[in-house]
Chain A
Amino acid sequence: MGFWLLRRLGQIIPTLLILSVLIFALQQLMPGDPALILAGEERGDPAVLAQIRAELFLDRPIWEQYGRWLWRVLHGDLGFSWRIREPVATLILQKLPVTLQLGGMAFVIACCIGIPLGVLSAVYKGRWPDVLVNAVALAGISTPNFWLGIMLILLVSVHLGWLPPSGYVPLSEDVWQSLATTIMPAFVLGNAISAVLMRHTRAAMLNALSQDYVRTARAKGLGERVVVLKHALRNALVPVVTLGAIELGRLLAGAVLTEQIFTIPGFGKLIVDAVFNRDYPVVQGVVMVVAVVTVLLALVADILYLLVNPRLRHA
């Protein structure tokens, strides 16, 4: 197991290195000269431009720029925001708890919708509940996140007046207010993943229900409810939970538009504002962090899978 873990870690390093090259290369796509953007009013002054270029090492060869950039990133320095004049890492750390709260709630909601529906659909395979659940899942996958958000605001906030349409209250300030401001966006975010979780659950349950131990449990005369919920579901949840961990990366992507619609000051809003303000270091930093988090989540998923499935531990 230790050896396996080392090899798995060894696989991650080249992936992260290539990612760093790709993300650094993004800069080169940028139209125009960053020094001109940064100089602002003083863009006509060649001395100012030269100074900015020297400060940012823009006058050095490209590989040296990459080396310096990577060195700083490895030390947790993601550069300075051009607009807010603050370190990108600080900005990201400030926004992260908001997105984590949203993502956590979304994941819980997704599990609460996706897993029971998946079980239902597997138990009634081929009959109307299965067809209905699959239709709901397909509709869920096909609905653009941001449109669902807008429609929910229209229904719940504008028509019914039950929840505030936008804004955010931190958990530390007022738990109920915080939940009231995040439940809708969390539902929107969870919706897309619940469909995926439902499909995973259905497949895993169908597999589990065809196993010998389920036949044994039935033969013992156990009730169908016990067989399904205790014997089959427990085993089926193993792949579902690990696949679910990978889906968390998708949550981060979904958060971009969802936070924009509900004006929640999280990670997604940070990258969108940065895109609007042409604040490229922030865009780069956010993409880097999301990529690293996604790669690590995949690793966690693999380890989890190994831990909960003892049969694989010695393989």
Chain B
Amino acid sequence: MSGESPARRAFRQFFRHWLAVFGLAVVVAFALAAVLAPWVAPYDPLQTSWSLVRKAPSAAHWFGTDENGRDVLARVIYGARASLMAGVVAVSLAGLIGVPLGLLAGLAGGWVETIISRVADAMLAVPFLILAIALAAFLGPALENAMLAIAITASPVFARLARGMALEAKNTDWAEAARAMGNPPWRLALLHVLPNIIPPLMVQATLSIAEAIIAEASLSFLGLGQQPPSPSWGSMLNSAQRFLTQAPWMAIYPGLAIFLVVLAFNLVGDGLRDALDPRSQKR
């Protein structure tokens, strides 16, 4: 065997996958656009102008203008903030809720495990978007509430994953050895189980971000996410629908942005899975 570390091998495998690299490049580009929006965007995304209402794409306005004369390109760039933030924050929160509960369920066993798994199963029984819509509706329309709703909805997947890995780890020889040396269960969870489940968690998190971004766009489309006039791709599509015949560019570009970002996260997720999970390397 070569002396290459697992992390280095994973890194090399990931970059051999040119599609995953392409995905990563797209994600980085959108993240940069979101962070640097004030410098990158050609106009103020909230600046309305009556003389520029629904103008077709031109040299001055590459993506055209919307029903209030606002620059669509600027709004797409600023909209990346809402989408990426919703994706990353919601999934981080989902992991923070789900992983500890899953570890607890897997390591504690007994009725603790039964309750946690049953609640996770029940939540997974409701289709993702329906649960997110219901939660967001009851929490009230705001981007923060939409993110919270998506986080809660996405958390059982993480709990289930963490529980499965904890169960698997509990019965290994090294866990037995760690227990025999007098390590308390929480130490076992933090120092021994958690590092082992990080690779599958990273894969799940990346794929979940893709799902969360679609969910945020859907909620914003329904008026349950980012509130106007702040730009978000979902709410832009909502207003675009009313002017489909007169101003199709209002609908094309925000949707294209969602598609590209979601595709990119899915590509990165697939690439990560191939790189990190030795079992899935069939190709």
Contact = CB atoms under 8 A, between A and B. Distances in A.
Interface string B249-266: 001100100110011001
Nearest to A253: B127
Interface in A262-300: 271-272, 274-276, 278, 280, 283-284, 286-287, 290-291, 294-295, 298
Given A142-B259, A144-B217, A14 B118 contact: yes
B251 A295 contact: no
A150 B126 contact: no
Interface in A12-49: 14-16, 18-19, 22-23, 26-27, 29-31
B255 A26 contact: no
Contacts of B137: 274-275, 278, 280, 283
Contacts of B224: 275
A143 B213 CA distance: 11
Interface residues of B, number: 44
Contacts of A287: 126, 130-131, 134
A15 B259 contact: no
Contacts of A95: none
A150 B59 CA distance: 26
B119 A18 contact: yes
B125 A126 contact: no
A295 B124 CA distance: 10
A26 B222 contact: no
B128 A142 contact: no
Contacts of B135: 26, 29
Nearest to B119: A18
Nearest to B129: A253
A147 B127 contact: no
Question: Which residue, of B140, B218, B267, has the highest number of chain A Cβ atoms within 10 A?
Answer: B218
Given A18-B122, A252-B127, A146 B221 contact: yes
Contact of B237 (A143, A150, A253, A274): A150
Given A142-B263, A257-B218, A271-B130, A298 B244 contact: no
Interface stretch (A109-117, A151-159, A183-191): A151-159
A249 interface: yes
B283 interface: yes
A26 B125 contact: no
Interface in A152-177: 153-154, 158, 165
B118 A158 contact: no
Interface in B222-268: 222-224, 237, 240-241, 244-245, 248, 251-252, 255, 258-259, 262-263, 266-267
B210 A15 contact: no
A275 B130 contact: no
B53 interface: no
A254 B125 contact: no
B34 interface: no
B127 A275 contact: no
Interface string A235-250: 0000000000000011
Nearest to A287: B134
A151 B240 CA distance: 11
B259 A147 contact: yes
Contacts of B126: 19, 287, 290-291, 294
B28 to A, nearest CB: 17
15 contacts: A19-B126, A22-B119, A30-B138, A31-B139, A31-B140, A126-B283, A150-B255, A151-B251, A257-B221, A260-B222, A272-B222, A283-B134, A284-B134, A290-B130, A298-B125
Task: List the 3 closest pairs (A to B, CB-CB), nearest first.
Answer: A253-B127, A147-B255, A142-B263
Interface of B: 118-119, 121-123, 125-131, 133-135, 137-140, 210, 214, 217-218, 221-224, 237, 240-241, 244-245, 248, 251-252, 255, 258-259, 262-263, 266-267, 270, 283
Given A26-B134, A275-B224, 10 more contacts: A29-B135, A138-B267, A138-B270, A144-B255, A144-B258, A252-B127, A254-B129, A271-B134, A274-B137, A283-B137
